[in-house]
Amino acid sequence: MPRRRSYVTATQLAQMGVCERRILLERQYGKRSTAEQRSATNRGDAAHDSFFAHAQALHPRVQTSLPRRGCFIATAVFGPDAPECAALRRFRDRVLRRHRLGLGFIALYYRLSPPVATALARHPALAAVVRAALVPLARGAAWLTARMGTRRA
Amino acid sequence: MPDWLAILVLILLAALALQILRRARLRRQEKTWLPPELAGATLAYAEQEFRIEQPFPLVARVDRGYLAGGMIYLLELKTRRAPRVYPSDIIELSAQKLALGASGQRVSDTGYVLIQEPGTRRFQITRVRLMDAQRIAALARRRKALLFGDTPPEAARHAGLCRKCAYLAECPSPRVGR
């Protein structure tokens, strides 16, 4: 069986500039952090999320390894695998994409939805309101696309 | 025009206006810390991971990489109360440079550490000189030797690091009393 390569991360190498003893202690006792360090890590993660969101907003074509999070409002409020998202996607592909006006709406929606989705991820109460408003829309979209499918059959 | 359509158009226009205002605010904010030499640069990478096998298996994620004059300038974001750059920042950026350079991209020896004051929108940027590939490879070899027990580890340079360390109780010779 081929051996899996063990990669060292840039962050692990950076620890060499902090304390070498800590590297060995971490290996011996497992990863450990103080409450202050955990709080700093959380602050750092939040700052990185925001920094990345800003990069995407200003430079939409920037190359990244991260998934382009929260691109769509329905995904932000229902989750990517929800049936409501699937219904709205079907509506987009079977109804909106067939008309010039619909294509214009899709293009506009793709431009506008990322900041709205980011805001919804930050404000759960607002997300709940939008979710409630989107449920009938998603049901209507599902009904319409199902009806179109029946007619075609 | 039906009322619902007018409302929809109004909502879309308002969202468009908000988007334009947000982008303008972000651009203004970026201008406050972006160094003049990167003013016309293109943001090429954001949170982009690079993996190399040689000179040693290394994985590095770049916070931001700006393209200017055919060269990538790396930028690392840190959140700190004091706008201080540490040796670990230089090592991290230098390892990123090594990983990105192996992809054939020209990477500048100059990098940037952007320090954000926690909970604020205040930033301070510091230009740093990055280490060359040989020094980073030597550091990786030393780390490996430490983990194999072939070389004794050095202690932290500052007592302050020991004071905040989660392994203070287990450390054989900390720089501060327990």
Task: For chain B, say whether A48 makes contact (Cβ under 8 Å).
Answer: yes
What is residue A71's predicted lDDT score, i.e. its pLDDT? 55
Residue B11 pLDDT: 83
CA distances from B157 to A47, A68, B70, B95, B153 (A): 28, 40, 38, 21, 12
Among A25-34, A118-127, B151-160, the minimum mean pLDDT is found in A118-127
pLDDT at residue B66, rounded to an integer: 96
Band (A77; pLDDT cuts 50, 70, 90): confident
In order, the DSSP letters of B123-171 are EEEEEEEPPPHHHHHHHHHHHHHHHTTSSPPPPPSSHHHHHT-TTTTT-
| Predicted local distance difference test score (pLDDT) of residue A14 | 95
User: Of the spans A15-29, A113-127, B3-17, which averages the highest pLDDT?
Assistant: A15-29
Nearest-by-CA chain A residue for B149? A24
Residue A110 vs residue B39, higher pLDDT: B39
pLDDT at B154 exceeding the cut of 50: yes
pLDDT for residue A69: 47
Measure the N-to-C terminal CA separation of chain A; round to a whole number of Å. 52
Who wins on pLDDT, A85 or B90? B90
Determine whether the interchain pair B22/A29 forms a contact, defined as Cβ–Cβ distance below 8 Å.
no
A51 at the B interface (CB within 8 A)?
Answer: yes
Q: Looking at the complex, report in whole angstroms how far the Cα of residue A9 sits from the nearest Cα belonging to chain B.
A: 5
The string of pLDDT tens digits covering residues A43-68 is 888 888 888 888 888 887 788 887 55
ipTM of model? 0.86
Pick the residue with more confidence: A3 or A13? A13
* Position with higher pLDDT, A118 vs A74: A74
Q: Does A35 touch chain B (CB under 8 A)?
A: no
Average pLDDT over chain A reads: 81
Question: Does position A151 have pLDDT exceeding 90, yes or no?
Answer: no
- Residue in B26, B89, B143 nearest the CB of A57: B26
Partner-chain contact B143 A23, CB within 8 Å:
yes
DSSP-derived 3-state class of residue B72: strand
